[in-house]
Structure 1
Amino acid sequence: MKYQNFNQEIIELVGGKENIQAVVHCMTRLRFTLKDRSKADTEGLKALDGVIDVVSNQVAYQIIVGTHVSEVHKELTTMLGINDDAPTQQPKAKKNFVKAALDVVSESMTPILEPIICAGLLAAVLSILSLTGLISPESSTYIILDTLRSAVFYFLPIFMAMSCAKRLGANPYLAVALAVTILSDSINGVSGLTMFGIPLPEITYSNSFVPILLAVWVMGYVTKFIKRIVPNSLQLFLTPLLVMLIMLPATLLVFGPIGFYLGEGIIGIFTWLLDTVGAWFVMMLYAALQPFLIMLGAGNFIMPVVASLIAANGFDPAFITACTISDIAVGGAMLGYFLRTRNNKQKQLFGTVTLSAILGITEPAIYGVFVKYRRPFVAVIIGGGLGGLFAGITGVKAYSVAWGLFGLPSYIGEGDFSNLWFMVASVIISFVGAAVAAFLLGVPAEEDDSQEENAKSNQESEGKINLRTIPLKSVVKGQLVQLSEVSDQAFSSGALGKGVGLIPEADDIFSPVDGEVTVVFPTKHAVGIKGKNNEEVLIHIGIDTVELDGMGFDIDVQAGDQVKVGQKIGTVDFKSIKEAGYDTTTIVVVTNTNDYLDVIPETNRTVCDSDLSMNIIFE
């Protein structure tokens, strides 16, 4: 029992044996299901020698211990007396209905943001072309382009059906069939319809998301029930027919009316809030706090509300404006850090995430810098709050769903530029305010980092180190990003070793080194390889993909196999993983980084499997 004392301390600090309902593990962390999380001493666990970090979320209470987690887990379950026949299957966390609904909405919106953003930016381009007189609003060209913009929102139920079907256990094609049916001319917005003699209310399903979301949610349960009662030999013929015969009437009679009035109620609540409290307060609060929402994974939940507001009013009176102001404030905070720091490595990081934040992509800054330094949150609260307050007072409106610097033209009103100028002033206030605040707050631990960098530079200049390198190739074709930019704190902090992130553009996975496969996690989402120079490389495919239980992963090697650099070791269906709502970023780290002088990643760029991803430096 190598980890007996360590495990005994963990058991005591999580509240004792009686507080542990279940415990499983992934590649680096123990995932506890606790009966009462308030009994767990999180700070005590973080201070425990051998614990890298503790993460508590709706899925599980997670204690990150490193790549030897399987050994720790094996002894832990023995001490707990837990029958561990399936150690890799994650227990499903019990969620209340409201939390489950919020998760479904947020995760379902993520895959369909691209067409929504496209429509928003297209609206901005058309506004500019129309106001400058380059294209007449009555011309065929304008009408065709505007049709693309309007079609995205009109057919929102179809996008939502496809996006949430797999997440809710329904057949995506049957879900889309249901969506196109309720959008047909014979049903959508038609009055006087009856079904089985029951009058149907007049409902406009276009531009909505709640009715189809409720219908697909129930479709998942109906599908499972029918598959249990229909013989296997008749599944192909009877299951889709029975599902549709049940779901179409149920949607028109129940979920359609519920969803329609629920959607109207949501809009009414936000309209009341804006009318009574004021847009200035809503914008100020949301612009100041959006980074916290993104960090908690709730950044996309507001999108269905925004789509409904634009469909009902022709504009969004608060939220998209606040999103853009907050994003620009994040960029301002990173610029303040860029100007303040003297550390070259930090300058490179802050400069890179500054640009991405200004363009509307703030995750690299939030997960790579904000989580680590924390003070930027204060800077954004100051800058974003001031910008949001100004936008609210001046009544800025967003006429389409587009944020970031390139989304500003969408604030042009019909023949009126004043809305745009007020928005430009708002983002300037947020950017400057956050930059000044971040500069004054300073960069924590900067001096130590600078001293370490200078010492290393002096050592090299004096010729005291005769350097040799171990090159590591890319494991997948795609976009190489710095480890600090990935959205998993355990990896981005460098606690599990230095390395890189790769945003895949192909499905094949390759070995980065010559060596021996030491472990293939049963859910296939992670592979460990020990190179011929004793480098220990962990390939972690996707973030939180352990929850998929192997779905989409086809790994061709097993522990003990010898592999060559560039050898294909498996295939991953990244498209289905992304559609399921998971981040596909593939992380490659050298877990025994401390055994070497340094691990130096390549710069951000597009790489093929044969390209260099990082170098291990040793004497």
Structure 2
Amino acid sequence: MNTPTSEMLAEKILRGVGGPENIESLTHCATRLRFQLHDGTKADQAALDALDGVMGTVPQSGDRFQIVIGGAVAGVYSDIMNLPSMTGGGTPRAQSDAEVKAEIRAKGRGRFAWLDNFFEYLSDSFRPLLGVLLGASLIIAIASMLDAFGIVDFRSADKSATWVFVDSMWRSVLYFLPIMVAYNAAKKLKIDPWVGATVMAAVMTPNFTGMIGSKTPGVTTTTNATLGTSESVAHVFGLPMQLNDYGGQVFVPLLMVALLALVYKGLKRVFPENVQMVFVPFFSMLIMIPMTAFLIGPMGIWAGNGLGTGLSWLNGNAPIVFAIVIPLLYPFLVPLGLHWPLNALMLVNINTLGYDFIQGPMGAWNFACFGATAGVLLLSIRHRESDMRQTATGALAAGLLGGISEPSLYGIHLRFKRIYPRMLVGCLVGGLIVGILGGVDTKAFAFTSLLTIPVFDPMIKYIIAISAAFFTSMALVYFSDYRTKEERAQVNDERDAAAAAAKGEVAVPAQTVPAEDRELVAVGAAPATATGGSASADSGAADVPAARKGLELAAPVAGRVIGLGEVEDPVFASRALGEGVGIEPADGHVVAPVDGELVTVAETGHAFGIRTTDGTEVLVHIGIDTVKMNGKGFDVRVEAGRKVSAGDLLAEVDLGAVRAAGYPTVTLMTVLNTADMASVEPHTGQDVTAGTPVVTVRR
């Protein structure tokens, strides 16, 4: 069951990206919400960055916009998609070819837009597979630990059926990875993903792979005596076709789907719509399966082998340089999503060489990143920063147990410029140790976390390197702080002031009041303070004669009465606008809570300021952020300067319209000049009708 807080975050994110009408589509990955907007300039990046629960934002070309949430991203995505205004999942907009071209010219995406598209293609082809890749890596880690402790020979060629079956559990992901990548890549390019998967599967069937090294007529196999390798060629329709095992290959499906998209979309223009379902997939398969087997497959194998050989050469001839470059490169690649090609190369290495030499040095970067987060966590505990402590705890858990760096990067490191230089020192130290000790390899694709340490060989070298990277970054961040001395002093002062305000000891500055509500604070005298409620009642009760009756403020609307501390608005919750109550309305019939003069009536109809004859200043505020509705759904029945009596109708509000617009409907009533009162006593936790006393004010 979703909490009100998560639902509120979903509503605020929706407003921050320009509302549902500005969303063309929305997806998510392991840590990020990924929006395709109609107009990227409408996204309020500053407001989104300031939201609790948002770790950071990443605007991209082509009106793409990413919001980093962390491990809770799936829940936030679900909350957004369940909002009434998102029933359709976005608002795709039909445009003519001329409009599309004009829009592209007008936006001037820049000379690097093609690069954004290329890496977006790579990222979206792999990103949905993170879960199963992580699952497979943990299965390998468990098996490797059992092997390390001598319980089972994980690498034995004659393992029992039990361990052959365990092998199949993780090999299923890596072997059939090309089919999964083809599916995602085709989906990214907006063609039938099952056609992409089918084309790739055709060259991975037992029929195809069974010809390799076989005595099938038309198949010839030659052996390279020098290298000890063999190569099989099948003569199909009189043409030579190199046979390869494409299990685990990633370049082949990426190249294949890029060409398939052109063929598929071209065929859709050729065939009438009523026969496309049959003939477009048919001809796509008829064209692309031979194209993949004869040309794209061998090209992909050659390209992958070439890149792997190049990096292998660097690793073999300048291992220290290689081990240093990799961890220093990753901190700049990951935030931009440019690390996917290296991840692809890891898989190629495992398939061609039987091991990978990139992941060992990469582990130095990951653990340097997690070490910096640990330093921030220690500082947040030391300085009693509860929000940062929660953020750092979650990010560190995601890193050490899951090997995921994005929560640390977007939640902390990219927000504070002092962290990166210190983290890079940790990367350098870890990479240098890997290089000096002769490198670290692995035979599995593994997320570099504590749980996958056993898959690296030699394991002791890897542990030394990542430990050095972790503790170097942690020490540098902790002892030099991620804030400057001035920032630290300011943050600590704000922390102490907030703690004092929560105890009713400190006035809240008028600057904390939203601009649209400041005119309401000016109904009369001095600014409100955070003191109020039970604190005011306790401090002033002894001075007030028992026989002296206070002023009763009635509920302006029927509903459930709650304390201001339960309201999802920091200004009202802090009592910056005085002590009072919130009411979850049962209907939109809003009445005056007390006799007095209507000093202020907001043009948008969302707020009313009333001054009583004895000078009590009362604010009635309908909903949160409803000023942004510009009066839509608010039927105001009064005007400023008018005298009203308790129970007089102030406005009729369409609560359904407020909810549809994504705003909370809670109606708030506060005493603006709480500081001038002996006590302001809210009566919460009850269901009331309009006119029931809910606040007692004593002067």
| TM-score of the pair, normalised by structure 1 | 0.62
When the two structures are aligned, how many residues end up with a matched partner?
438
Greater RCO structure (CA 8 Å; 6+ sep): 1
Identity over aligned residues, as a percent? 22
Structure 2 partner of 1:184: 205
Q: Which of 225, 229, 234 is the equivalent residue of 2:270?
A: 229
Is 1:29 aligned to residue 124 of structure 2? no
Q: Which of 382, 395, 406 is the equivalent residue of 2:451?
A: 406
Instruction: Within 5 Å, give how 1:507-586 maps onto structure 2.
Output: 533-536=622-625, 562-563=655-656
Distance 1:270 1:365 in 2: 28
Structure 2 partner of 1:427: 466
- The farther-off stretch of 110-119 and 238-247 is 110-119
Structure 2 partner of 1:352: 394
Structure 1 partner of 2:632: none
Q: CA deviation at 1:446?
A: 1.8
Q: 1:100 to 1:564 in 2, by over 3 A?
A: closer
Q: CA deviation at 1:232?
A: 1.7
Q: 1:146 to 1:471 in 2, by over 3 A?
A: same
1:170–1:216: 8 Å Cα contact kept in structure 2? no
Q: Which of 431, 456, 464 is the equivalent residue of 2:498?
A: 456
Deviation digits for residues 497-524 of structure 1 (CA, Å, limit 9, x no counterpart): x9xxxxxxxxxxxxx99999xxxxxxxx
For the residue of structure 2 that corresponds to 1:315, the secondary structure is coil
Structure 1 partner of 2:215: none
1:328–1:427: 8 Å Cα contact kept in structure 2? yes
Q: Which of 111, 114, 118 is the equivalent residue of 2:135?
A: 118
Structure 2 partner of 1:174: 195
Distance 1:538 1:433 in 2: 50
For the residue of structure 1 that corresponds to 2:622, the secondary structure is coil
Q: 1:377 to 1:361 in 2, by over 3 A?
A: same
Distance 2:273 2:410 in 1: 47
1:193–1:199: 8 Å Cα contact kept in structure 2? yes
Q: CA deviation at 1:460?
A: 3.2
Distance 1:302 1:514 in 2: 57
Distance 2:567 2:208 in 1: 58
Deviation digits for residues 435-456 of structure 1 (CA, Å, limit 9, x no counterpart): 1111233132121111011112
Q: Which of 433, 438, 443 is the equivalent residue of 2:482?
A: 443
Q: 1:514 to 1:292 in 2, by over 3 A?
A: farther
Q: Which of 522, 532, 537 is the equivalent residue of 1:466?
A: 532
Q: 1:145 to 1:24 in 2, by over 3 A?
A: closer
Structure 2 partner of 1:322: 361
Residue type at the aligned position of 1:400: A
For the residue of structure 1 that corresponds to 2:445, the secondary structure is coil
Larger Cα Rg: Structure 1 or Structure 2?
Answer: 2
Distance 2:346 2:413 in 1: 27
Distance 1:536 1:112 in 2: 39
Is 1:297 aligned to residue 392 of structure 2? no
Distance 1:184 1:150 in 2: 16
Deviation digits for residues 525-568 of structure 1 (CA, Å, limit 9, x no counterpart): xxxxx9973412899xxxxxxxxxxxxxxxxxxxx974399x8x
Q: CA deviation at 1:194?
A: 3.0
For the residue of structure 2 that corresponds to 1:206, the secondary structure is coil
1:538–1:588: 8 Å Cα contact kept in structure 2? no
Distance 1:538 1:355 in 2: 40
Q: Which of 127, 136, 159 is the equivalent residue of 2:144?
A: 127
For the residue of structure 1 that corresponds to 2:247, the secondary structure is coil
Q: CA deviation at 1:208?
A: 0.9
Residue type at the aligned position of 1:331: F
Deviation digits for residues 131-188 of structure 1 (CA, Å, limit 9, x no counterpart): 4343455221111001222232222211111121110222111111111111013323
Is 1:383 aligned to residue 426 of structure 2? yes
Deviation digits for residues 112-140 of structure 1 (CA, Å, limit 9, x no counterpart): 12222222222221122234343455221
Is 1:161 aligned to residue 256 of structure 2? no
For the residue of structure 2 that corresponds to 1:179, the secondary structure is helix
Q: 1:466 to 1:303 in 2, by over 3 A?
A: same
Structure 2 partner of 1:244: 285
Q: 1:54 to 1:257 in 2, by over 3 A?
A: closer
Q: CA deviation at 1:266?
A: 1.4
Q: Which of 295, 299, 305 is the equivalent residue of 1:264?
A: 305
1:158–1:179: 8 Å Cα contact kept in structure 2? yes
Residue type at the aligned position of 1:399: K
1:472–1:513: 8 Å Cα contact kept in structure 2? no
Q: 1:376 to 1:589 in 2, by over 3 A?
A: farther
1:25–1:87: 8 Å Cα contact kept in structure 2? no
Distance 1:596 1:109 in 2: 56
Residue type at the aligned position of 1:117: L
Structure 2 partner of 1:67: none
| TM-score of the pair, normalised by structure 2 | 0.56
Flag structure 1 segments of 5+ consecutive residues without an equivalent. 1-22, 32-52, 65-81, 414-418, 474-493, 499-511, 517-529, 540-559, 571-586, 598-618
Superposed CA RMSD in Å reads 4.2
Structure 1 partner of 2:405: 362
Q: CA deviation at 1:56?
A: 6.8
Distance 1:148 1:100 in 2: 34
Distance 1:562 1:364 in 2: 37
1:515–1:564: 8 Å Cα contact kept in structure 2? no
1:157–1:205: 8 Å Cα contact kept in structure 2? yes
2:315–2:323: 8 Å Cα contact kept in structure 1? no
For the residue of structure 2 that corresponds to 1:301, the secondary structure is helix
Q: 1:588 to 1:249 in 2, by over 3 A?
A: farther
Flag structure 2 segments of 5+ consecutive residues without an equivalent. 1-36, 46-55, 68-97, 213-231, 506-529, 534-562, 575-583, 589-605, 608-620, 629-652, 673-696
Q: CA deviation at 1:299?
A: 3.2
Distance 1:513 1:363 in 2: 40
Structure 2 partner of 1:103: 120
Distance 1:183 1:151 in 2: 13
Q: 1:274 to 1:88 in 2, by over 3 A?
A: closer
Q: CA deviation at 1:25?
A: 2.7
For the residue of structure 2 that corresponds to 1:193, the secondary structure is strand
Residue type at the aligned position of 2:531: I
Q: CA deviation at 1:283?
A: 2.5
Distance 2:408 2:664 in 1: 20
Q: Which of 306, 315, 323 is the equivalent residue of 1:283?
A: 323
Q: CA deviation at 1:26?
A: 4.0
